[in-house]
Each structure stands twice: as C-alpha cells, then as structure tokens.
C-alpha cells in the first residue's frame, strides 16, 4: 500500500496539507514528517502550532532531525555555517547555492529517513506549495521524481483544501503577525526587509548572524547595484536600520514591499528580495 508523507514544516500551508491528506487517506496511511529546529530560532508558537495540529488530527509528529538530536541540542543556521567554515564557502554550498543549514538540518535527515523507511515507489510526498509557486513545484517534482518518488501539492491541485487552519479551531502561529512565513528568525534566504525586521524584533539573532559573518568573512546579503555583487554586512546595515527604526519605518514583513522599497531608496540601500518559505525537505 502506498504511504503518504506530509512534509510538515510548521507553517500554516503544511498544516492545511496535513489536514487534507489525513482527511482523504486516513491517519494510518499518513506520516507527518518534521525536521525539528533549535528553539532559539524557531518561534515557540510554531512548536505549539505543530503540536496542536497533530493532536487535532489524532497523530504524532515523526521527527527526522539533525543527528537525531533533541531540539534544544540542535545547532542553528549560524552554527551549521561555522561547522562548514573549513571549506571557505561562507553560508552556501558551492555550485548549488543552497544554504548549508537547509542541507544539513533538512535535506540530509530527510534522505536518511526515506532510505530507512520508504524506498522509492512506496510513498507519495506532499508539500504545501500553492498555485502561485509553480516553479517550486516543478523543481521539487523533478528532484524527487529522479529519485523514484511521486510528489503531490494539494493546495495547488486539490479543490477541497481548507482556506485557513482556523476552520478546524487552531490559531496560526503568532509569528505570522510580524513575518510572512514560519521560517527561522534570521533566515539565510531572507531579503533586506526580513533582516530589518529581525534587527527590530530579534536583536540577539541579528547579533549572532553579524558575528558569524565577521568570522566567516562572508556576508549573507549582497549589493548587486552596478552589475557587480558586493558584500553587504549586517554590521554595516545596523546603524542604518537603527535610524530607520527611530524614524518609524514599519518593522513587519507584511508592510508592502513596494512601499518598503521607497525607504530603501531614501536610506540609499539596495533592493534585495530573496525571501521564500523554507522547505521542510529541500
């Protein structure tokens, strides 16, 4: 019998997919697969949310985490980058451009879980990509299809998915009031607006990210104005962000990007929009 694996990241989209898949196939045929994250960078309310969704569905969460460690012993994205420091590649893998944290904390544990429990041809893997993310759907379908796995995207392909997880009585993560996604605080895929919001709301994470940049000699962000990428270090952005905050620039990712770009122009900062949801098993 084909098994159904929901990549259950802790964001609302993956929860909607979990509800839809369990409703269609029954909980016995479904696994909610999560890669746990260090609690300093994964909001506590995301962990609350995951637990409530699983309880509502009558399921447990299967963890496929880095080296099988409990959450409070897991390295964060900056620790992982420093563990790979000897390669001299900064925050991203050479060639692929993927963040080391995604590869080490999610991709490798996911591959190990599949190899141990669900060989090719025995499972369908579900993601919370919606109809506006066809490029991500195509990429994921190609990668996992090449490994012998079928993938499915209920939010884009099924007509009967819920619009909001609140429809089954669960409040979305509180972090959504400030952030667009349930990514780690200080996400290495974040653009300049994400890092401004992180500066305002998580100065501890911003400081650790800045210190990691200095140790590695690489910046997370890059200024591509003039056609040449130049490093844009968080330490240099901090005094500008401080002025922006004092001036009342909205410190939320929900502030329209077009309007935020006006502030970037005013403060002579580049437009960097790299942000995307982090994939449960990228």
> pLDDT tens digits for 180-236?
988 899 999 999 999 999 999 999 999 999 999 999 999 999 998 888 889 999 999
Per the domain annotation, does 231 fall within a domain?
no
State how many domains the chain has: 1
What pLDDT is attached to residue 282?
42
Res 281 pLDDT > 70: no
Query: Is the residue at 255 inside a domain?
Result: no
Please give the average per-residue pLDDT across 14-33, as a whole number: 97
Q: How many helices (H) and strands (E) does the chain have?
A: 11, 7
Contacts with 62 (C-beta within 8 Å, 6 or more apart), sequence order? 31, 32, 33, 34, 113
Residue 214 domain flag = no
Report the CATH number that the domain containing residue 117 is assigned in CATH: 3.40.50.620
Average pLDDT over residues 141-161: 97
pLDDT band at residue 48, thresholds of 50, 70 and 90?
A: very high
Q: Is 150 within a domain?
A: yes
- Indicate if the pLDDT at residue 277 is higher than 70: no
Domain of 106 in residue numbering reads as 3-174
Please report whether residue 269 resides in a domain. no
In this structure, are residues 176 and 195 in contact, taking their beta carbons and an 8 Å threshold?
A: no
β-bridge mates for residue 123, sequence order: 3
pTM, full prediction: 0.91
| Domain assignment present for 106 | yes
- Asked, for residue 204, whether it belongs to a domain, the answer is no
Q: Is 90 left (phi over 0), alpha (psi -120 to 50) or beta?
A: left
| CA atoms within 13 A of residue 87's CA, in its CB half-sphere | 13
Give yes or no for residue 275 having a pLDDT over 60: no
In a domain, 235, yes or no: no
């Amino acid at each position: 019998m084909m098994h159904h694996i929901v990549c259950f990241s802790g964001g609302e989209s993956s929860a909607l997919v979990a509800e839809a898949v369990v409703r269609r196939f029954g909980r016995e045929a479904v696994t909610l697969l999560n890669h746990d994250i260090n609690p300093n960078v994964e909001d506590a309310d995301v962990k609350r949310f995951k637990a409530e969704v699983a309880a509502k569905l009558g399921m447990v969460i299967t963890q496929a985490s880095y080296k099988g460690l409990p959450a409070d012993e897991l390295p964060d994205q900056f620790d992982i980058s420093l563990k790979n420091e000897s390669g001299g590649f900064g925050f991203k893998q050479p060639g692929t451009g993927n963040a080391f944290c995604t590869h080490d904390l999610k991709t490798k544990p996911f591959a190990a879980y599949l190899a141990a429990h669900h060989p090719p041809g025995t499972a369908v893997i579900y993601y919370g990509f919606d109809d506006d993310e066809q490029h991500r759907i195509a990429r994921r379908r190609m990668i996992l299809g090449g490994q012998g796995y079928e993938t499915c995207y209920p939010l884009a392909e099924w007509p009967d998915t819920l619009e909001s997880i609140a429809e089954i009585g669960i409040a979305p993560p509180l972090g959504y009031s400030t952030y667009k996604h349930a990514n780690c605080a200080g996400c290495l895929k974040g653009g300049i607006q994400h890092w401004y919001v992180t500066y305002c709301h998580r100065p501890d994470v911003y400081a650790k990210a800045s210190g990691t940049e200095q140790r590695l000699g690489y910046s997370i962000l890059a200024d591509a104005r003039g056609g040449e990428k130049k490093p844009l270090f968080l330490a240099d952005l901090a005094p500008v962000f401080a002025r922006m905050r004092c001036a009342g620039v909205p410190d939320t990712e929900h502030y329209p990007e077009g309007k935020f770009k006006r502030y970037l122009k005013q403060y002579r900062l580049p437009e960097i929009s790299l942000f995307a949801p982090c994939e449960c098993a990228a």
